[in-house]
A and B are shown apart, each in its own frame.
Chain A
Amino acid sequence: MVNRWTKEQMAARVARDIPDGAVVNLGIGLPTLVSNFLPHGREVILHSENGVLGMGPAPPSGEEDYDLINAGKQPVTLLPGGCFFHHADSFAMMRGGHLDICVLGAFQVSVRGDLANWATGEPGAIPAVGGAMDLAIGAKQTFVMMELLTKRGESKLVAECSYPLTGLACVSRVYTDMAVIDVTPAGLRAVELIDGLSLDELTRLAGVPIAPAPGDDR
């Protein structure tokens, strides 16, 4: 049985890579956890695509204001220095490359960094895209947080995405429950593996080539 990082450990690992001063958008779902692990003393500005910079944590129970919500429509707060703006401005700052990092969930990531995270393409499913396509291509760096394998044991790292694409060649780094992996022009490259996992075993589970981390001769 291969060791797995918990969701909280994955979130803490992502948080470690977010530098002081970064402007960051955390996608709905797993990425939202990252905000709980940003180290004290590190000042990070959170963006929410419905029109907030400087988003703070959820308010105490009883103090929810549903005019102040995040992209998941959950109540949030505003930090001192934070501000509001309209939707076209919000997506302009994203598309215009003014966000440093965006963290997204995914169904699949290809070896070229193509992302599939908005639809499974099942017949009869109600489609919904929201800001996924804008987020995928907008930030300077797009991080993906996902379990390496589906519940059926299939790898979410793929040669070609079989699910509908969200964006082409947009993912820079993938944080899974077993390894952190960079997407480079030469393909996937390991950054960090969970204790006890060899690169050979990771590559076998992932089903796609993954180069060793620089200086790693495991």
Chain B
Amino acid sequence: MIDKTVSSPEAALADVPDGATIMIGGFGSAGLPAELIEALVAQGARDLTIVNNNAGNGDTGLAALLKARRVRRIICSFPRQVDSHVFDGLFRAGEIELELVPQGNLAERIRAAGAGIGAFFTPTGYGTELARGKETRVIDGRGYVLEFPIHGDYALIKAERGDRWGNLVYRKTARNFGPVMASAARITVATVHEMVPLGALDPEAVVTPGVYVKRLVPIPRVATQPVGVRPV
């Protein structure tokens, strides 16, 4: 019998080694798997490469992982936020490496890894400093930059509902990077707020097929809190 359910975030991440590349879903707090990040902080792996759209907010979650000096390198599109002081301090002190990637190239590089694509030409970034040193080509009169896939050892994502085969659906804009990251890592760990029996998810509407998911952790629902914005 296939059952990908794991009892706790700690159990799901017990085998993360030092030096791992870890993709973390989420755009702001939507889709950010907070419980998995907390478990990663507690787990202790060091020298990590993190792939996330942002670089942590406030002092918890990804920011706490950074603050504990466990991250050597971060690949992201938008580190600077009103509450990114942990990253800002490490970056200014030269204590973290940053690979800044345009958001669409970030998503497509992750997608390419999951889809077995060796590299691709994208128009995004052509002629800018983020394409410096990269191979370029003019195709039908338009300039393109060669970009390579980003593979993960682990992907930590947050879904809404899943079954024991690992099929997933998401909630609203919390979907964001989840489906592409799920496909791009050797071990994808997803939290779900609800486990349902096989057959209960509408097969026409499954967003992430279970083939991409290794471990599922049921987590009680808590309302997503705002981050990255000034309090209203």
| A residues whose Cβ falls under 8 Å from a Cβ of B | 48-52, 64-69, 72-75, 78, 84-88, 90-92, 94-95, 124, 126-134, 137-138, 164-168
Contacts and interface: CB of A to CB of B under 8 A. Distances in A.
B200 interface: no
Contact of B173 (A51, A132, A138, A168): A51
Interface in B18-71: 27-31, 53
B103 A91 contact: yes
Interface residues of B, number: 57
A51 B25 CA distance: 13
Given A73-B227, A134-B105, A127 B172 contact: no
Contact of B175 (A78, A84, A127): A84
A51 B176 CA distance: 6
B77 interface: yes
Given A51-B27, A51-B176, 15 more contacts: A49-B103, A51-B175, A65-B172, A67-B172, A73-B28, A84-B173, A84-B175, A85-B175, A87-B104, A94-B104, A126-B87, A127-B80, A128-B78, A138-B104, A164-B128
Interface string B122-134: 1111111110000
Contact of B226 (A51, A66, A84, A168): A66
Contact of B127 (A48, A51, A85, A167): A167
B88 interface: yes
B98 to A, nearest CB: 7
A214 B25 CA distance: 51
Contact of A86 (B84, B130, B177): B177
19 contacts: A66-B28, A67-B31, A68-B30, A68-B172, A84-B173, A87-B104, A88-B110, A91-B103, A127-B80, A128-B79, A128-B100, A129-B130, A131-B103, A133-B104, A133-B105, A133-B125, A134-B102, A134-B124, A165-B129
A126 B102 contact: no
A95 B104 contact: yes
Question: Can you list the 7 inter-chain pairs with the closest CB atoms, starting with the nearest?
Answer: A91-B104, A134-B104, A128-B80, A87-B107, A66-B224, A168-B127, A126-B80
Nearest to A116: B128
Q: Interface majority SS on A: helix, strand, loop or mixed? A: loop
A75 to B, nearest CB: 8
A94 B105 CA distance: 12
B232 to A, nearest CB: 9
B178 interface: yes
A88 B149 CA distance: 13
Contacts of B171: 67
Nearest to A73: B28
A52 B172 CA distance: 8
B98 A95 contact: no
B153 interface: no
Most chain B C-beta atoms within 10 Å of own C-beta, residue among A134, A138, A166: A134
A137 B143 CA distance: 11
Interface in B155-181: 170-180
Contacts of B87: 126
Nearest to A127: B100
B130 A133 contact: yes
A69 B30 contact: yes
B222 to A, nearest CB: 11
A88 B102 contact: no
A66 B30 contact: yes
Give the one of A75, A87, A134 with max B CB within 10 A. Answer: A87
